[in-house]
């Protein structure tokens, strides 16, 4: 598939999109878990920024599910 030619009606870019998004999503989850783990162990030092990170990590999938349902 030539990148200069736009995809036709029967061509899907979904495999390419999943190939890029999935590894990046995995890296972000690893970074999220590492940050929360290191900030909460051995002494709980979670701040307001960590609260917003958790809120975003939980809210993003919920928002996507809501968009797909409605």
**Residue pLDDT tens, the chain, 70 long:** 567 777 677 778 888 888 988 898 899 999 999 999 999 888 888 899 999 999 988 887 777 666 666 6
Res 49: pLDDT = 92
Does residue 13 contact residue 7 with C-beta atoms inside 8 Å? yes
Helices (H), 1-70: 14-40, 48-69
Tell whether 30 is covered by a domain: yes
Tell whether 13 is covered by a domain: no
The alpha carbon of residue 67 and the mean position of all alpha carbons in its chain are separated, in whole angstroms, by 15
Tell whether 11 is covered by a domain: no
Q: Identify the domain containing residue 30 by its residue range.
A: 18-69
Res 48: pLDDT = 92
Tell whether 29 is covered by a domain: yes
Tell whether 44 is covered by a domain: yes
Instruction: For helices 14-40 and 48-69, give the axis angle rounded to 10 degrees.
Output: 150
CA distance 60 to 70: 15
Tell whether 3 is covered by a domain: no
Tell whether 40 is covered by a domain: yes
Per the structure, how many domains does the chain have?
1
């Amino acid at each position: 598939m030539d990148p200069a030619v736009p995809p036709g009606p029967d061509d899907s870019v979904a495999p390419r999109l999943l190939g890029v998004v999935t590894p990046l999503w995995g890296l972000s989850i690893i970074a999220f878990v590492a940050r929360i783990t290191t900030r909460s162990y051995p002494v709980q030092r979670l701040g307001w920024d960590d609260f917003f990170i958790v809120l975003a990590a939980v809210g993003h999938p919920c928002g996507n599910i809501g968009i797909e349902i409605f």
